[in-house]
Structure 1
C-alpha cells in the first residue's frame, strides 16, 4: 500500500535559503577546464545525490532542532530552484535513501525531500541501497524479498516512478527502473539498479537496452566500485565485477556508471568488449561531517568540447547560518576525486550504436562556473583542514599532558610472543601480551596476534598490532594489557581528555562471530562502582570501552566521574571493513560532552552530560577484547594502531593525524665577502623540535632540533671515538677547524621529517684572497697560529673545508653571529649561545 503523500506536483516551493572529512589525498586527474565567458558550447548538467541515509535518520532529532531543516531537503530544494539556469534535465539518487529500513519517520523525511523535485517537475531516478531493504545479505537478491513488506517499493516504487516525465518502466519487483531524458537535442537512458540485482533483473535490464539500442546509457546503482584502504585509489568489488561481466562489458551503450555505498570518492576507467572506455565513479560522503554535509555531484556535459566536468558541491553548507560553520564546512570539495574532467569524444564513442549523435547549439557558457557562482555568492567559508602524510616515524605533534602513547612500530613484524611488550613512549604504561593461560581464552593460539607493517597512512608509526581468529562463539581472543601499577590506570580525566587511536576491522568480520567486539577498554566492572544505576545493557561490563556494534558502528561507552549519571554513549555510522580509520574521543569539560570523531569528522550521535571516567582502581587498560563479568571476552577482529591518552581536550591540529609545523624555521648563515682565512665553525638557528636539519651545498652537516627549538650543525671534519671522520656525526670529537679557501660558496639549509621538508633557506658568500706580503709582493708564509699569515695552499672555491685552523682572539659581534680573529686571518663562527645543545644530538667535544 502506498503511503499517503501530498501530490501537488505543480506547486513550486519557495526557496528555503537564507540570504564537507576529511580531505582525501589527491588522485591524479585532469583539472577542471578553464572556460572563458565567451566560450559558448552545447551543455547540460546531470545532478547526482549520493547516500542520504543519515540526513533521513537524523532529520527529526538532530537537524530540525539545530537548523530547522535537513541536508536532504536543502539539496533537493536547491536543485529545484536552479534546475532551469543550470540546465538540469535529470537527477540520479544512488541509494541508501534511509538508514533504518523499518523506521517510518526516516521514510517520511526522504519523501518530503524528494517531493520537492516532484513539485518542481524535475525528473529523477531513485534506487534501493542495502539500508533500504529488509535483508541486505550478499546472498539475497531483489527477487528474494517479500515485496509487500518492503518499504522502498511502497514509498518509491513503480507507481511513484511513473509520475516522472522521463519514466520508461520498472522490473517486476519495482526495485529497478529506467528513464530516458532529453538534453541538447539528444536522448540519454538512465538505468537504475537497486541493491543486489538478481539474474532475472539483469535479464530485464538487457531487455531495456535491447529495446533502446541507439541510446547512450548511464548506469546508476548502489554498489559497484569500491575504494582502497588508502581512501584514494579505486578497488574492484566482487558484486561490481558481477555487473561488469553480466551486463556492462558486452553493452557498448553503457559509457558511465555511478554508485555510492563505499565511503569516499574515486574513479576507474575500464575497456569494454568493443575497445571503448567505461568510466566508473564512486561518490559517497556519509562518513563526512554531519553525515555527508549535503555534498552532491554536478556533472557538466560539454558536447561541443567533448568532456564531462565533475564537481562536488554542498548547497547545505552555504545554506547554514554563518555562525554555525566549522572548518569542515566547505562549499566545494576541491581535490581531483571530487573535481575532475572526463575527456570523451561523444560522437566517436557513440558512433557504433548512435551514428546520428551530434552536439546541440553552442549557446551556453560554462555551467560549472555558473554553479560555483550561485553557491559562492555571498558565502565566506572557513579554512579547510588539510591532512599530510607523515615523512618519518618522528613526524607527529607532541602534546603536553600526554599520559600514555602506545606504538607498535620498530619491534619487527611477525607473531607477538606471550609476554612481549610495547613501549609507552610517554609514561610507564607499557603494554604486554597477556599469556594465553592468564587471558581466559582456552582456544587462543600464539599466532593469533601479530605485528604488521600495514598502518594508517596518516599515522607516523610504521606498524599495528593485529588480532586474528577472534570468535565469540568459541571464546577465542587474545589481549594486550598495561601493568596493574601503571599510573594511567587510575586517571579519572576529570579535566576532560582526548583518547585517539587507529583501527581497522578485518574483512572476515561477521555479526555472528564478532558483533559487539571491543578494541580498547578500561577494564573493571561498572556494577561495582558506587552509585552506578542499574542498566539493562552492559551492567557488569567495563566502565569505559570502544568497540563495534552488530551493525558495524563504532560505540564509545563510558561511565563519567559522576557515577550516578550512568552510561554515556557515542555512535558512528557504519564502518567499512578492511579500511583504516582514525578515531578520536574528545571530552570537553566546558560543554560536558564527549564527541567521537571518525577520520576527523564529528559523528552525529555523541555523549552528553558527561565528564571524565569512573573506574575500578588499579585495573589495566586492555587492547584486543571486551571485559565483562570480571574477565576478558569477545575479541577484536582487526588491527589497532598507535593510541594516545591526553589529560585534556584537544583539537585536530594536535591529533596524531596532524604534522608539526615546519614554517617557523630560521638559520644564521654567512653572507657577503668574508676575510681571508675565515673558518665557519657551526651553523645555528631555530626550528621545530624533533625535526632533522640538513645543510647542503659547499658546506654539509645535519642536526636534530632540540626541545627548546634550537639547533646547531658543527661544520668541519669530525670523528667519533674509534671511528672514521665524517661531517655531521653526533657525539663526535671535532678536529681543528680549517680556513676556507678563497672563492665563492653557496649553501642551503632546511628542516623536515624524512621527505616532508620545509622550504630551503639559502645563502651565498665569498672568501677574500689572502693579502700579499708588502715586502715581497707574495702571499704571507707564516705558520697558522703564530700571528703571521698561513702558508698552506688554498683550496678552490666550492671545495668544502680547508684543513688548518688558527688561534682565537677576542670575540667581536657581527649581526647574529660572532667573528673570531685568528692572528692576521679571520675565523667566522655563525653561532648563537644556547642551552640544551646536548638534546639536539649535535653537541661536539672540543
Structure 2
C-alpha cells in the first residue's frame, strides 16, 4: 500500500517529534554532594589501627563513583561539592592567630582524649583526602568547604569549660575551631586542584572561602563555598563575588547551617560565635548574607547528623531552598563487621545526587540518596528505615523517613529570576 508521506517528509516528522525530547535531555544535569567524610578517613578506622576494615576504601569508592558519572566522562554530573569535615583530626592545640588574640584553652578530658592533636592527620588523613579528590582533578569544576574538623585546632574555650562530670554532650563545654593551614595545603587556592583553573573564579583567605563557575542545563551557575561559621570578612567577600557576577543563579555551600529539624541553630558544643563574635551563627549567615542577595536560590550544608529541607523567602520575596545532608553517624557496616560501639560512626557510603530538570515546564531538582557500599538508592534499600530511623527521625513513619532522602524540589520562581537559559 502506498504511504501518503514521502521519505523526506517522514524523516522530517520523526525529527520534529524527537527534538523536544532531545532538548529536554540536554537541560538535565546533576550535582554530586559528598557529606561529611571524616569517619571514613579517620586514621583509627583503618585495619592497621585494629579496625575490622579500611574506612578509607568507602571514601575512595565514593569518589570513584562520582568520577564515573562526570559529564566529561559521558555522565550527567556537572559539579561536585564536599560539605566539609573531610578528615577527622587536628594537628595543633590552638592555632597561632587565636593565641595571638589571647584566647585561652581549657582542659577537656573527653575531647582531649578523642581529638588530641596528632601528626597522623598529615601523615594519613590528608593524603587520603588528596587521593580521593584527585579523581576529579582536571575533569570537572568542584568545591570543598572546610568544616570544624578540617581546622588545625579544635579546643575548649576557657570561658565555656566542661562540667566536672560529663554525662552527655551538653556537659562537654564549648569548642572552637581555628586555623586552616592544613586545609589550605590540600584545598587552598594555590593547591594543584584549583590554581590556574578557569572555573575557580575567586577566593578569600587562601581558599578558606572560594567561588566557582560551572555551565549546565543552559545556564551559567555561580557557587560560593564558605568556611565553618564564616567570619564577617568572609561574608563581605562573598557579597563582593556576587556583585562581580550579577544575575547568575547562585548556590551557597557551608558546613554548619541547620539541624535535622531544619532550624538554623548552631551546634551546642561547637559554636564559634559563642567564643569569637567575629564568627557568624547560621541565622546570622541568613540574615546578613543569604537573604540579602536575590541570586542565591539554593543552600547546601552538612555537620548536623541527618537530613532536613526548608524553604524561605528572601527579602525580595523569592524562594531559597536549604538542604542538609550528613550521614557520618550511620554505622550499619560497622555493626555487620562486629563493632558493637554505638558511638562509632562510619557513613555507610551514602551520598546525595541532585538532578536538575531545567527543561521541565516548572524546573525541579530530584534529590536521591545513594550508597556506594550497598550500590543502592535509599528508596530501594528495604532495611533503610530499620537501620537509621530510630537515631535520626524516630517520630516519622517508615514511608516519611524514606521521603527525607528521596524527594523532589520545585523551583517555582527559577525562570522568573533567571530567564529561560540558552
TM-score, scaled relative to structure 1: 0.33
| Aligned CA distance change for structure 1 residues 117 and 182 (closer, same or farther; 3 Å) | same
Q: What is aligned with 1:182?
A: 215
Q: What is aligned with 2:201?
A: 168
Alignment of 1:679-758 (within 5 A): none
Which residue, 113, 129, 136 being the options, matches 2:132? 113
Alignment of 1:16-165 (within 5 A): 40-41=24-25, 42-57=27-42, 58-59=45-46, 61=48, 66=53, 70-84=57-71, 85-102=74-91, 103-104=121-122, 105-118=124-137, 121-136=139-154, 145=178, 150-160=181-191, 161-162=194-195, 164-165=197-198
Distance 1:79 1:63 in 2: 29
1:287-345 per-residue CA deviation (whole Å, 9 max, x = no partner) reads: 012411111111111112211111111123229xxxxx998889xx9711111111113
List alignment gaps of at least 5 residues for structure 1: 1-36, 228-232, 320-324, 361-846
- After TM superposition, give the deviation of residue 108 of structure 1 in Å: 1.3
**Which has the larger Rg?**
1
Check the 8 A contact 2:47/2:53 in 1, yes or no: no
Check the 8 A contact 2:86/2:129 in 1, yes or no: yes
Using CA pairs under 8 Å that are at least 6 residues apart, name the structure with larger relative contact order, 1 or 2.
2
Alignment of 1:475-494 (within 5 A): none
The structure whose residues are more often strand, as a share, is: 1
- What is the alpha-carbon root mean square deviation over aligned residues? 3.1
Distance 1:146 1:79 in 2: 30
Check the 8 A contact 2:29/2:217 in 1, yes or no: yes
Secondary structure in 2 matching 1:117 = coil
The structure whose residues are more often helix, as a share, is: 2
Runs of 4+ in 1 over 6 A off after TM superposition: 62-65, 325-330
Distance 2:188 2:47 in 1: 24
Q: What is aligned with 2:303?
A: 261
| Aligned CA distance change for structure 1 residues 50 and 62 (closer, same or farther; 3 Å) | farther
| Aligned CA distance change for structure 1 residues 68 and 298 (closer, same or farther; 3 Å) | closer
Secondary structure in 2 matching 1:207 = helix
| Aligned CA distance change for structure 1 residues 60 and 193 (closer, same or farther; 3 Å) | farther
Secondary structure in 1 matching 2:242 = helix
Secondary structure in 2 matching 1:205 = helix
Alignment of 1:424-443 (within 5 A): none
- After TM superposition, give the deviation of residue 45 of structure 1 in Å: 0.5
Secondary structure in 1 matching 2:403 = coil
Q: What is aligned with 2:368?
A: 311
Which residue, 221, 236, 242 being the options, matches 2:264? 236
Check the 8 A contact 1:181/1:188 in 2, yes or no: yes
List alignment gaps of at least 5 residues for structure 2: 1-20, 92-120, 158-176, 267-280, 334-345, 377-381, 389-398
Check the 8 A contact 1:272/1:278 in 2, yes or no: yes
Secondary structure in 1 matching 2:375 = helix
Q: What is aligned with 1:340?
A: 407
Secondary structure in 2 matching 1:236 = coil
Secondary structure in 1 matching 2:207 = coil
Distance 1:187 1:152 in 2: 28
TM-score, scaled relative to structure 2: 0.65
Q: What is aligned with 1:294?
A: 349
- After TM superposition, give the deviation of residue 187 of structure 1 in Å: 0.4
- After TM superposition, give the deviation of residue 212 of structure 1 in Å: 0.5
- After TM superposition, give the deviation of residue 66 of structure 1 in Å: 3.2
Distance 1:62 1:167 in 2: 37
